[in-house]
Amino acid sequence: MPFFLRFARNYGALLGLAILVLVVMVALLAPLLFPASPWQSVGDPFLAPSEDPSYPLGTDMLGRDIAAGLAYGARVSLLVGVVSTAVAVVIGVTLGALAGFYGGRADDLLMRFTEFFQTIPAFAMAVVLVAIFSPNIVSITLAIAVVSWPPVARLVRAEFLSLRSREFVQAAIVVGQTGPRIMLTQILPNAISPIIVTASLMVATAILTESSLSFLGLGDRNMMSWGFMIGAARTMLREAWWMSVFPGVAILLTVLAINLIGEGLNDAMNPHLRGRKG
Amino acid sequence: MKTLEFAVQRLSKAALVVVGVVVLNFLLIHLAPGDPASVLAGEAGAGDAKFIAQLRAQFGLDQPLYVQLWTYLKGVLTGDLGYSYRNQVPVATLILERLPATILLTGCAFIFSLVLGIALGVLAAYRRGSIIDSAVMTGALIFYATPLFWIALMAVLVFSINLDWLPPFDMETIGAGLTGWARALDIAHHLILPTVTLGLFFTAIYTRLTRASILEVMDLDFVKTARAKGVPKARIIRRHVLRNAILPIFTFASMQAGQLVGGAVLTETVFAWPGIGRLMFDALMQRDYPVLLGVFLVTAIVVVIVNLVADLLYRVVDPRIEAAG
C-alpha cells in the first residue's frame, strides 16, 4: 500500500495534518491577512471577542489585535520548532552514529557525555542558556537544540549498533568502503524511519519549550509569540480572559496536530507494529 | 555483580556527574557576557569605575577564572556555597529555606500523576475499544499537548476567579498566624492547584505509557495461557500483566526528577510558590550567580540521587536483571 494511504488510514493523523496545514497557511499569509504590525494598537483597548466585528478575537490592553498576534506568533512557533529540531537531530545523529558504529571507547565516551546531558534538567538549562546569551530567536533556537538532542543520540546509537552486524554492512566493509560512507549510504537509510518519527514529536516539544520561555519573558523582543501573549495576559486574567485563552488554544492545537501526525507516521512506517498501541 | 559493588561503582559515577555539572555551569555563567558587578553597581545608582572595581574585588571577580573555580569547588566540599551578591546571605541558607516547598510540590505532583496515570491507563486498557477508552485517551492526548503554564492560568481563571474555591497564589494565607493542623490544612488548600497543574502533563504520559505497556504484555504467550486456563480477566491484569507492564513505567518515573524541576520553575513562578524553582529564576534575572550555581548544584545532587535509588530499585522490581552494565 502506498505510504500516504497507510498514513491516511489513521483518522487522527489526517486531522492533525489538516490542522497543521491551516496553521502553516496562516503563518505564511500573516502579512497579507494582517498588514499592520501585531505590535501596533489598531482598536480600542480591552475589546471583548465579537464586540467589534473587525476584531473577532478581541484586543489587548493596548488595543492590539489578538488575531494578528496569533497569526504572527504561528511563524515564531513553527520556525523555532522546526529549526531547533533540525539542529538537535544533526547533533544527535552524528554522535549516535559514531558511538554505535565504532563502539568501544568512542561509544563509552560519547554515551557518558550523553548521559551527563540528560542529568541536567532540560528546561532549567534552556532558561539559563537563553537568559545568559540574551533572548533572541537564535539563542532560543540553539538553547532548545542543545537540551533536546540526547534522546536522538541514544536512539541512533541503538539502531547503528544492531545494523552494524547485519550482512549488508559486513559486505560493505569487506569490499573496502570507508566508515563514513558506510554510515551515510548503508546504515542511515535503514535507520531513517524511527529518526523521522522521533523528530516529528520533538518539533511539538520544542514548540512547547519555546512558548514556556517566552511566557517567562525570555522571548525575542522583536517577534510576537504565543507564549509572550499569554505572559502579558497574566495580570489581566480577571479583566480579559480572551487575551490568554486564544493563544493557549493555538499552542494546544498546533502541538496536538504535530503529535497526531507523529503517531500516524509511526504507524505508517512500522506497519508490523500497527495495533500494538491499540 | 554484587549489589554493594554495583552501588559503589554507581556512586562514584554519580559524584563525577555532579562535579561535571558544577564545572560546566560555572564556566558557562562566568564566560557569558554581562558583568554582575556593573549590574549591581548600576542598581545602587553608582556607575563609577572605582565602585565597580571595589565590588569585583569583594566578590573575588577580579581573580583569574581558574582561581575562582578552584575557590568555589573548595568551598562546596566544606558545604560553603558562597554568599548571595544581592542580600548578603549564605547561599546554602537561602536554598535550605526554599527546598522543602519545592520537595512538597514536586513530590505531591509526582505521586498524583503516577497514581492517576496508572489507574487511567489500566482502566483504558481493560475497557479497550470502549467509550471510556476513547475518552481517557483523548484526554491524555490533549493534556500531553497543553503548555503547563497555560493550564495554570486557566485553573486560576476557573477555580480562583470564577468559582472562588481555591487560592490563586502563595503557599499559605499570609498573616493568618495559623499553627499545627490548621496551618497544614491551609497549606494543603494552597497546594491543590499547583500540584494538579504540574502533574497533569505527567499524568497524560503515564496514562499512555501504562495502556500501551499493558496491551503489549497482554499479547504475550503466558497471558494467553492464563486466559486459556480460565483465570478471571481482572486477576490476570493484576497478577500477571501489571507486574511486567510496570517496568517501562518505572523507567520513565525514574527519569522524571529532572523534568519536574523544569516544571517547578514555571509552576512556582505562576503560583508565587516559595521554592527553589523561583529562586533560580529570580537569581538568573538579577545575575545573582552564586545563588544560581547553588541551585544547580543542589538539583543535580537530587536528580543523581533519585537516579541512583531508581537503579537499585529496578533490580528489586525486575529480579531478572543481574546488572548487565
CA distance A228 to A237: 14
* Residues in chain A within 8 Å Cβ distance of B296: 124, 128
Q: Mean pLDDT score of chain A, rounded to an integer? A: 88
Secondary structure, 3-state, chain B: CCHHHHHHHHHHHHHHHHHHHHHHHHHHHHHCCCCHHHHHHHHCCCCCHHHHHHHHHHCCCCCCHHHHHHHHHHHHHCCCCCECCCCCCEHHHHHHHHHHHHHHHHHHHHHHHHHHHHHHHHHHHHCCCCHHHHHHHHHHHHHHCCCHHHHHHHHHHHHHHHCCCCCCCCCCCCCCCCCHHHHHHHHHHHHHHHHHHHHHHHHHHHHHHHHHHHHHHHCCHHHHHHHHHCCCHHHHHHHHHHHHHHHHHHHHHHCHHHHHHHHHHHHHHHHCCCCHHHHHHHHHHCCCHHHHHHHHHHHHHHHHHHHHHHHHHHHHHCCCCCCCC
Region A249-278 average pLDDT: 80
Q: Residue B209: closest CA among chain A residues belongs to which residue?
A: A277
Most confident of A173-182, A205-214, B231-240: A205-214
What's the CATH number for A3-277? 1.10.3720.10
Q: Nearest CA of chain A to the CA of B13: how many Å?
A: 10
- Region B23-31 average pLDDT: 82
Q: How would residue B197 be classed by pLDDT, with cut points 50, 70 and 90?
A: very high
* Per-residue model confidence as pLDDT tens digits over B228-254: 888 888 888 888 888 888 888 888 887
Contact A255 B145 (CB under 8 A): yes
List the single residue in B with minimal CA-CA distance to A233: B153
Residues A211/A224, Cβ–Cβ less than 8 Å: no
Which of B28, B147, B280 lies closest to A211 in CB terms? B147
pLDDT of residue A278: 37
**Is pLDDT at A108 greater than 80 in this prediction?**
yes
How confident is the model at residue B1, as a pLDDT?
54
Give the pLDDT confidence score for residue B306 in this predicted structure: 85
Q: Where are the domains of chain A?
A: 3-277
Which of the pair, A162 or A86, is modelled with greater confidence? A86
> Does B149 contact A215 at a Cβ distance shorter than 8 Å?
yes
Interface test with A, best of B150, B220, B296 (most A CBs within 10 A): B150
Nearest CA in chain B to A237: B157
What residues of A are in contact with residue B133 (Cβ under 8 Å)? 278
Categorize the per-residue pLDDT at B204 as very low, low, confident or very high, splitting at 50, 70 and 90: very high
Which of B141, B150, B259 lies nearest to residue A121, judging by beta carbons? Answer: B259
Set of chain B residues whose Cβ sits within 8 Å of the Cβ of A131: 284-285
> So what's the pLDDT on residue A1?
65
When pLDDT is cut at 50, 70 and 90, the band that residue A273 belongs to is low
For the cut 60, the answer to whether the pLDDT of residue B322 exceeds it is: no
What pLDDT sits at residue A272? 58
How confident is the model at residue B50, as a pLDDT? 76
> B54 to chain A, minimum CA–CA distance in Å?
24
The predicted-structure confidence for A147-156, as pLDDT tens digits, reads as follows: 999 999 999 9
Residue of A nearest to B259 (CA): A121
| Overall pTM surpassing 0.90 (yes/no) | no
- How confident is residue B46, by pLDDT bands cut at 50, 70 and 90? low
Report pLDDT digits (tens) over A20-67. Answer: 999 999 999 988 888 888 888 887 888 888 777 888 888 888 888 888
